[in-house]
Amino acid sequence: MQMQAKKKMLIMIAAIGVILIALVVLTAYAAELKCTNNELAGRSEALQGEIDTLNVKLKATNSVAYIENMATEKLGMVYPDETQCVYLSEDEVPKGDLAMIIKENAYS
């Protein structure tokens, strides 16, 4: 009987050892997952920062002022004067400076 009790005790100790080893392995795996998750969260924040920066640049380059500046300075474009415009009827002739009317319509 004594031998059987020793066997049971030995099996119980081995089972508890296996459970504890599994617990340590699972804890290490959880720590590794947490580390990976933190790394991905950091990358996500960096990418979100880049996205925000690009959105600001996009809004700036799509503004009428930026487009007008690029057209006049880089492309050499100018607003037409009255001698360069052809109207189909007298009713279509604008009252005032055509360039100012175009600017006002662009900025409103």
Residue 98: Cβ-neighbour burial (10 angstroms; 0-12, 13-18, 19+): middle
- Cα separation values, 28 from 1, 21, 25, Å: 41, 11, 5
pTM of the model: 0.50
pLDDT at 56: 92
pLDDT at 108: 64
pLDDT at 81: 76
- pLDDT < 70: residue spans in the chain: 1, 96, 98-99, 107-108
